[in-house]
Amino acid sequence: AFVTARAGASSALKRVKFCSPACLSSAVTTSHYATAPATKKSGQKNIVLVEGVRTPFLLSGTKYNNLMPHDLQRAAFLSLLRKTGIPKEAIEYIVSGSVIAEPTTCNVAREAALCAGFSDRTPCHTVTMACISSNQAITTVMGLISSGAIDVGMAGGVEFLSDVPIRLNRRLRKLLLSANKAKTPMQKLGLLAKFRPSMLVPELPSVSEFTTKEVMGHSGDRLAAAFGVSRREQDEYALRSHTLADKASKQGLLSDIVPFSVPGDSAPVSTDNGIRVSTLDQMAKLKPAFIKPHGTITAANSSFLTDGASAALIMSEEKALAMGFKPKAYLRSFVYVAQDPKDQLLLGPAYATPAVLAKEGLKISDIDVFEYHEAFAGQILANMKAMDSDYFAKTYMGKPAKVGCPPMEKLNLWGGSLSLGHPFGATGIRLVTTVANRLIHENKQWGLTAACAAGGHVSLPFTFLYQARSRIKERTRQLPGWLEKMPHKTLNALLMCCAFFCIY
């Protein structure tokens, strides 16, 4: 059953009877790994998030449309350097996530780093994992730190959908390649005779799953129907997302946004431009976007095509403190899970959340802050119902009981992908940074993110667990000023002297 309505949640978001989803496949494959288990082994490093930033997320085809992907990623890198004050030379490795690559800058991490002035000796690589590409960038950096290969790394993510690569028709490509090898005029004329006008039709980037030939919106519609999520519930959740994002933006809570100066524009871009606080009546007028005429997913309750970039500074705790940084959060644990891409494409959070909680020995009630990726309102609500269902837990996960679902007063309180936007390769870092910032703002301890993603033959959800450093920072602020300014090594020496004195 769905989460009980609580303060601030819409009246329609109430507990309803769970209907067993007959269309869901019972065959589920799961795989997960972690680099930061709950119980630290001797000598294992604590990994911390020092800071995270992002460019404003803009609707594709708007102010960023004359740029290139590496321009946005470069801006995010430079903004992170300025915000933290860390020198470029201290960054030992850079990993970026991206989905639809610009052919001239396939390794966008490398090109953006060089354009940002990083040394050509700084290794960089780019990963792609659909909507969790920058999550993969983060965990790759975590793995490098955990293994001892580096102490300081930068994770990035970028997506630029204003200019996607459109290819020539494959038959025409083959004809042109053959023409390039033709040596005599007769051979070239023979190839010309094979030309057909239909070859001029270009090939657009595919938006469907390769294995199922189904677009994600169709999966979302079927998932919402299977879990009994109504059109009204989806519209109400989407309106909630936009309302909370608008409120957070006006209150200055979206501090991860750094202004970006678009060449040719007099004023820098400083806010997201996809936030639209509408009304339920206006949203109800929209027609279904995928399954017509009876589908429930519309443009109003779906995330939109977005341009944007993000970046995060990740370090070992020891190195961060030695360099004078006060990290925002510990990066504690992560899990990747894969399911059937046909019927369970968007159910990742329902599978990954229990896995990471079990790894850390926590319950859903222990988590203070939740940030879940909002691909569709129906996807979020379906996952909530799955997590709050004993039937789902027993039948599809082999668990004795449900894990429970996040309470609405803890979930996505500063908006989400439905309102802020969803640049495929950059959203993961936004989720991570938002959790850390909310933990500090709300003076809480534990936070969790989760995201579903397209994945070809599997879906690849992602869950991340944090332990906030905000309480540690509160204790630090209570120290005398002269002690606050004391170098870390000197303070350690002083504490050692006090300890020996007490023992003596």
pLDDT 10s digits, 339-351: 888 888 899 899 9
Percent of the chain predicted with pLDDT > 70: 82
Q: Mean of the pLDDT values across residues 204-228?
A: 89
Percent of the chain predicted with pLDDT > 90: 70
* Distance between CA atoms of residues 129 and 61, nearest Å: 24
Reading the block at residue 332, the tokens are 């504690």
pLDDT band with cut points at 50, 70 and 90 for residue 318: very high
pLDDT band with cut points at 50, 70 and 90 for residue 39: very low
Which listed residue (23, 106, 115, 452) is catalytic? 452
Residue type, 388: D
- Higher-confidence position of 93 and 454: 93
Phi, psi of 43, rounded to the nearest 5 degrees: 85, -10
Q: Mean of the pLDDT values across residues 51-73?
A: 98
| pLDDT in the model for residue 498 | 60
Q: Which helix (H) or strand (E) holds 394?
A: helix 390-396
Three state DSSP letters for 106-161: CCHHHHHHHHCCCCCCCCEEEECECECHHHHHHHHHHHHHHCCCCCEEEEEEEECC
Beta strands, E only, 305-401: 306-316, 329-336, 369-372
Q: Mean of the pLDDT values across residues 263-270?
A: 93
Which listed residue (19, 23, 115, 131) is catalytic? 131
**Per-residue pLDDT at 491 exceeds 50:** yes
**Per-residue pLDDT at 35 exceeds 50:** no
* Distance between CA atoms of residues 366 and 296, nearest Å: 34
| pLDDT in the model for residue 476 | 38
| pLDDT in the model for residue 118 | 98
Residue 10: closest CA among 280, 265, 363: 280
| pLDDT in the model for residue 468 | 54
| pLDDT in the model for residue 454 | 81
**Alpha-carbon Rg of the chain, whole angstroms?**
24
How does 200-225 read in b/e, with b if 16+ C-beta sit within 10 Å?
eeeeeeeeebeebeebbbbbbbbbbb
CATH of 1-165+217-468, one of 2.60.40.1180, 3.30.70.100, 1.10.1060.10, 3.40.47.10: 3.40.47.10
| pLDDT in the model for residue 28 | 30
Residue with tokens 């023992």: 503
pLDDT band with cut points at 50, 70 and 90 for residue 13: very low
**Per-residue pLDDT at 93 exceeds 70:** yes
**Per-residue pLDDT at 5 exceeds 50:** no
**Per-residue pLDDT at 477 exceeds 80:** no
Q: Mean of the pLDDT values across residues 405-410?
A: 97
| pLDDT in the model for residue 490 | 62
| pLDDT in the model for residue 66 | 96
pLDDT band with cut points at 50, 70 and 90 for residue 18: very low
| pLDDT in the model for residue 488 | 56
Task: Based on the residue annotation, tell me whether 131 is a catalytic residue of this protein.
Answer: yes
| pLDDT in the model for residue 40 | 54
| pLDDT in the model for residue 212 | 86
**Per-residue pLDDT at 239 exceeds 90:** yes
**Per-residue pLDDT at 230 exceeds 90:** yes
User: What are the pLDDT digits (tens) for 247-261?
Assistant: 999 999 999 999 999
Query: In terms of DSSP H, where are the helices of 254-304?
Result: 280-284
Instruction: Of 6-15, 294-303, 442-451, give the lowest mean pLDDT range.
Output: 6-15
Instruction: Of 53-57, 110-114, 444-448, give the lowest mean pLDDT range.
Output: 444-448
- Most confident option among 1-15, 171-185, 279-293, 468-482: 279-293
User: What are the pLDDT digits (tens) for 142-194?
Assistant: 999 999 999 999 999 999 999 999 999 999 999 999 988 888 988 888 888 89
Three-state SS for 440? helix
- Most confident option among 269-273, 290-294, 358-362, 474-478: 269-273
Report pTM.
0.83
Residue with tokens 């490098």: 144
Mean pLDDT in the chain? 85
- Higher-confidence position of 19 and 491: 491
> 302 with 241: CB under 8 angstroms?
no
| pLDDT in the model for residue 496 | 60
Residue type, 178: S
| pLDDT in the model for residue 213 | 86
Q: Mean of the pLDDT values across residues 310-333?
A: 95
| pLDDT in the model for residue 482 | 53
Task: Based on the residue annotation, tell me whether 452 is a catalytic residue of this protein.
Answer: yes
pLDDT band with cut points at 50, 70 and 90 for residue 492: low
**Per-residue pLDDT at 214 exceeds 50:** yes
In order of 343, 344, 418, 502, the CA distances from 22 in angstroms are: 10, 12, 28, 68
